[in-house]
């Protein structure tokens, strides 16, 4: 069964600092997604990573995918308070099944 793990589960960081969130998954997958969720709100799509070595950047966030290691990272550069949220990775199981398996989520709090 496909399992997706994230670490850390909680992250408190100062503004201006850099940090990386890790997402490991247990079986082969074609695609990996990163979402952001604010408390009580919906999930907002951040990145879609479709191949080994894929790297995408948007503002202070950069995501990468290593399919051989079954690992994705979400790197935060020079964090600002507005980035405070919960970040989920999700994996789309190979074979075209129509569902995501979400990671446990990383609750990020950026301190001013």
Partner 1 sequence: AAGVIQSPRHLIKEKRETATLKCYPIPRHDTVYWYQQGPGQDPQFLISFYEKMQSDKGSIPDRFSAQQFSDYHSELNMSSLELGDSALYFCASSSDLDTQYFGPGTRLTVL
- Residues near partner 1 (CB under 8 A) are 33, 35, 40-45, 48, 88, 92, 96-105
CB of 42 to partner 1, least distance (A): 5
User: 73 vs 104, which CB is nearer to partner 1?
Assistant: 104
CB of 105 to partner 1, least distance (A): 5
Between the CA atoms of 61, 65, 69 and 70, what dihedral angle is there, to the nearest 10 degrees?
A: 100
CB of 111 to partner 1, least distance (A): 21
Q: How far apart are the first and last CA of the chain?
A: 41
How many DSSP H helices and E strands does the chain contain? 0, 11
């Amino acid at each position: 069964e496909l399992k997706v793990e994230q670490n850390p589960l909680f992250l408190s960081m100062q503004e201006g600092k850099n940090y990386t969130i890790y997402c490991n998954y247990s079986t082969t997958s074609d695609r990996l997604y990163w979402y952001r969720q604010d408390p009580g709100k919906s999930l907002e799509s951040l990145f879609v990573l479709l191949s080994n070595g894929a790297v995408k950047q948007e503002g202070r966030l950069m995501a990468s995918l290593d399919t051989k290691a079954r690992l994705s990272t979400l790197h935060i550069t020079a964090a600002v308070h507005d980035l405070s949220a919960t970040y989920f990775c999700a994996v789309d199981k190979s074979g075209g099944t129509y569902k995501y398996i979400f990671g446990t989520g990383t609750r990020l709090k950026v301190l001013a």
